[in-house]
Structure 1
Amino acid sequence: MQAMPLCRHSTSPTLPAQPGPTAVRLSHYVVARRLAPRAANDNRRPRAVPAWPWAVMIAAAPALTAALILAQLI
């Protein structure tokens, strides 16, 4: 074995190089999965309804009510 200068990792020139992968696997690069296929007559939403529009309406309701009451008093 022959040690590289200033390096604790030794290399062996007698070993052949490791062969690389023969094919590129797409699964190594896919981060998010695709939605499952659905029938053409399936009219359901693909995901659950988001909750933020309801939260905005619930948070704005007291302010709008107060504004309407003040508008009637003026």
Structure 2
Amino acid sequence: MSSDQQMAILIGSMFGTYALLLILSKRYRTDTVKMFRLEKSSILVAVENPVATTAHILSFIIPLWMMGLI
């Protein structure tokens, strides 16, 4: 697998997780809107939504692990 394909898989995984969280979690969606309006910091959103933060971290680590990069 080329490095371009690996990067595409990683980016797809991260954006897919982000989209899924926005669709399924009203609280995360509301906090994300506030973050983009600069009413909340991204760190505060991460702390207030620990499941979403864990999902984002895993969406980065699991594809890397499955591709044998870590």
TM-score (norm 1): 0.26
Q: Which has the higher strand share?
A: 1
Q: Which has the higher helix share?
A: 2
Using CA pairs below 8 Å that are at least 6 residues apart, which structure has the higher relative contact order?
2
